[in-house]
Structure 1
Amino acid sequence: MYKELVPYAKAWSWQKTIVDERKAHIERDEDVADTLIVLQHQPVYTLGTGSSEENILFDVKNSPFELYRTERGGEVTYHGPGQLVMYPIINLRYHKMDLHWYLRSLEEVIIRVLSSSFSMEASRIDGLTGVWVGGRKLAAIGIRVSQWVTYHGLALNVTTDLSPFQQIVPCGIHDRQVGSIKGLLREHSHSNSRGTENYQDIDDVQLIDITHKSLVKEFCEVFQVDLQCKPSPLLIS
């Protein structure tokens, strides 16, 4: 559903339903395939379990967009059109029962996407979760794990309007800016940066398509899984 704008509450409900079903199978010593949901959200602000409202720069009673406090980790962030959100619902028992490893693996997916598809040198920052290019954060990660089943996930700014981030302190980090793939490609379009010249004339839809394809490919490689596109009755109801 990566081309669709899905209300946050609906996607959140899907995840919790799938997680509950997955845990019920585990309790019966059964299991089912992992699930990977990729979509865009209608404009929304979300907070993690320990988020401080001090990082919200508007009156929470008069929020410019819907505002949700969720059970994921991390601080306040923004989701909206042009941002690809990936929700992996996977049983870490079949991967590695290590939350640090899982977070670093999600970061690795994004780092590979930015390198392989856009020739961008992305990196981690010690002590922080997410992915940066230069001093700009392109991807945020916030997860929840219940009985070793993951949900929530990552959000990568592709063609996102970044102005809503000015209404918050994104992820509670005061001294770093957010960025997008489109914005960085535009900045480097007249430079000699390897590969960026190939993206000067593509539109937003094509940029989303390229990024989505790369995200799914790199996720499968990092987590060593095969993907079968099989819409769930839950998601199409």
Structure 2
Amino acid sequence: MISNLNILDSVEICVTDRELKKHYYKTKIQDIISDNTFFTMIPSSETGRPVMFFKDQPYELYAKGTEGIMLWIINYLGTEKLDNLSACKFQAIAGPQTTQRREFFRQPVSVDLKFYITKSEAGVDTVLERSGRIVDLSGGGCAFMCNDQILLRSKLLVQFSFRDSDFEFDCEILDRINFTQTRANWDYKYRVKWVDAQEKTIDQLIRLVFAQQREMLINSGSRGGDRFV
């Protein structure tokens, strides 16, 4: 499961807070052992303080590979000493998956979503309304959480409101992460890309995404967003 990782590889660990905002912390692989278990150097926040991890929630690990950006779901096992240096011990529980190459800045958000499965590889065609929560958003697509299991490459119609503006997009599912074996509030996470979206609608969304980014920078001084581009 972690054969793509090597000692001293640069990686990023994503921490999702209670408001579903994502925070990315750079670190390096310090050692790799059996049972998909590995150690990283303890990452630091932008204030210089060590990042705290908890054993009761999953985290995302990102690393750049020859096939693109690879993603694992990992559990925190604790802190141990390696060569007299403290290190974080993790175990991969899912992955790797190749994630979407990001053509746009992805802004962490927490936005209610309504969606409809319009077409899937299984031939499902329904107008049943479903719900979820968008956790990052860009001019090229979004990532959202929901409790519905949906086939990859399925086509969806999504509707949401962002900064007092209503949006509706046709989209295609690019990848899926299964959280059913964890304590996450949602069962699945999906990444989608917009399909045949109107340029003026994309421009409007991009302006709003950057407006929110600027506000977050002013309010918190955080860079935020996805650093793998």
Fold conserved between structures, TM > 0.5: no
Whose Rg is larger? 2
Point out the structure with the larger strand share. 2
The higher-RCO structure (CA 8 Å, 6+ apart) is: 1
**TM-score, normalisation: structure 2:** 0.28
**TM-score, normalisation: structure 1:** 0.28
